[in-house]
Structure 1
């Protein structure tokens, strides 16, 4: 699946690339961890209890993000706005 296949026209693709692109990660769970650590202060004694895989699944199932897997451990993440 390409970015163009996800949208209706080239302007939406451009907007996604410029404004909604979160980055390239080894997995969506890595993205969830990165976002969480960038926006929250997690006490060290609780860090091992966070399930980033479940968070990633919820982000995707809830429609918050969509992903494009382009290679092994290469997932491009976009906000779904």
Structure 2
């Protein structure tokens, strides 16, 4: 699988309307969410952009740097700005790991408190490793009850397979508790 690349500071939406689309026009504009304080202010900007329509039905024809679950073709989750702010406080490695964790555990941003999600993630996230075998090696190297001789002949590959069959899972080098 490929690495998830999201730069929260660049979160933006191409906003058109259904009426224009149905008339054969994709007229709209990219709106950068960081230009708005909240969802209401964003929707006000959408209304101003499409002020030529009496009651525009906004159509989010494309979006960038917004995690799944926060946006659809015709809706923007109520807590989008809170989620983006919280995610903006994570470093790049943790943000990537957090989004992987959410996708794999099917976390729903719209129904979950973002601070609780981040706390749960921090409980589950171990770290980033070059391979599952490197993770297994670190666990074994940290044991004081094994002699250097035993560590030298230890089957790290087999141990890693066992670890990731039950207690841990990984994606793109990020290791999590199961």
Alignment size in residue pairs: 73
Which has the larger share of strand? 1
Compute the TM-score of the two structures, normalised by the length of structure 2.
Answer: 0.37
Structure 2 unaligned spans of 5+: 2-99
Which of the pair has more CA radius of gyration? Answer: 2
> Which whole-Å CA distance do the structure 2 matches of 1:35 and 1:13 have between them?
27
Which has the larger share of helix? 1
Structure 1 residues 77, 13: closer, same or farther in 2, change over 3 A? Answer: farther
**Which of 115, 120, 141 in structure 2 is aligned with 1:37?**
141
- Indicate the structure whose relative CO is greater, using CA pairs within 8 Å and at least 6 residues apart: 1
Alignment partner, residue 129 of structure 2: 25
Structure 1 unaligned spans of 5+: 70-74
1:7-58 alpha-carbon deviations (Å, 9 max, x no partner): 1325575212x11211111111111111122233321222221011111111
Alignment partner, residue 105 of structure 2: 7
